[in-house]
């Protein structure tokens, strides 16, 4: 009778071992399948890294990037958005993701205006990490530059003109009526000029020119 009891226990143990082995194999298969399904691919980023330039006055709703993701049923969300040099602004809520089948877009959801004067920050880099099927992908870099809200303005009668003697030697300093003011509220901002067009009337020793102006802010 005792031998019979050991035989029954042995048979049960065999069944239990078989069940454990079977469950372990099923778990490994399921985990392997989950790993395969969780991998996301962004074909366009492999061709060209996702780097984008915008200014800090871009309107809400601006599409930063619209691209493809694989697999088509991937679950996407924004993981984090961090700035290189700004800690006072939470950029995570300034952007949103929009998905459509195998495509997704990153859009502006709020203002990304940089700190105003007297801040010395003229640009910042945002590093966007995307969560795709529960995995992190540091995918997108966005550079935000300060928009020149008060662009320099020309004053005086335009187009500007000056009279030169045809014997004027090279290197001669010539006074011009050109006047421009940059109204941005900082003494650091200066104005520089480039001549982009010249028109000569040689018979009158007269020249008309169109200067280009830029603010060095």
Residue with the bigger pLDDT between 11 and 80: it is 80
pLDDT at residue 205, as a whole number: 46
* Residue 12 confidence (pLDDT) above 70: no
pLDDT band at 118 (very low <50, low <70, confident <90, very high): confident
Instruction: Check whether 123 has a pLDDT greater than 70.
Output: yes
Range with lowest mean pLDDT among 63-67, 113-117, 122-126, 142-146: 113-117
pTM of the model: 0.59
Looking at the predicted structure, is the pLDDT value of residue 214 above 50? yes
Give the residue-averaged pLDDT of 113-135: 90
Q: Domains, the chain, ranges and CATH?
A: 43-145 (2.60.40), 148-216 (no CATH)
pLDDT of residue 4: 52
Q: Mean pLDDT over all residues of the chain?
A: 80
Res 217 pLDDT > 60 = no
Q: Cα(181)–Cα(150) distance, rounded to whole angstroms?
A: 10
- Grade residue 2 by pLDDT with cuts at 50, 70 and 90: very low
Report, as an integer, the average pLDDT of 64-83.
Answer: 95
pLDDT at 212: 60
**What average pLDDT does range 85-112 have in this prediction?**
94
**Residue 25, pLDDT score:** 63
Least confident stretch, 7-16, 108-117, 139-148: 7-16
Count of other CB atoms within 10 angstroms of residue 140:
23
Highest averaged pLDDT of the listed ranges 21-25, 154-158, 182-186? 154-158
17 vs 44, which has greater pLDDT? 44
């Amino acid at each position: 009778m005792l031998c019979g009891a050991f035989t029954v226990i042995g048979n049960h143990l065999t069944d239990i071992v078989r069940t454990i082995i079977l469950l372990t194999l099923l778990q490994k298969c399921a985990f392997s399948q989950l790993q395969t399904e969780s991998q996301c691919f962004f074909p366009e980023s492999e061709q060209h890294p996702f780097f984008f330039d915008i200014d800090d006055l871009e309107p809400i709703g601006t599409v930063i990037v619209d691209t493809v993701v694989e697999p088509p049923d991937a679950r996407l969300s924004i993981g984090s958005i961090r700035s290189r040099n700004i800690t006072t602004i939470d950029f995570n809520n300034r952007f949103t993701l929009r998905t459509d089948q195998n495509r997704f877009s990153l859009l502006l959801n709020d203002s990304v205006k940089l700190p105003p004067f007297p801040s010395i920050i003229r640009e910042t880099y945002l590093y966007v990490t995307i969560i795709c099927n529960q995995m992190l992908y540091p995918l997108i870099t966005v550079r935000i530059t300060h928009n020149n809200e008060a662009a320099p303005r020309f004053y005086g009668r335009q187009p500007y003109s000056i009279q030169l003697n045809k014997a004027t030697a090279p290197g001669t300093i010539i006074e011009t009526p050109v006047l421009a003011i940059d109204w941005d509220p900082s003494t650091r901002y200066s104005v520089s000029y480039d001549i982009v067009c010249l028109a000569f009337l040689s018979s009158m020793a007269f020249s008309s020119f169109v200067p280009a102006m830029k603010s060095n802010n």
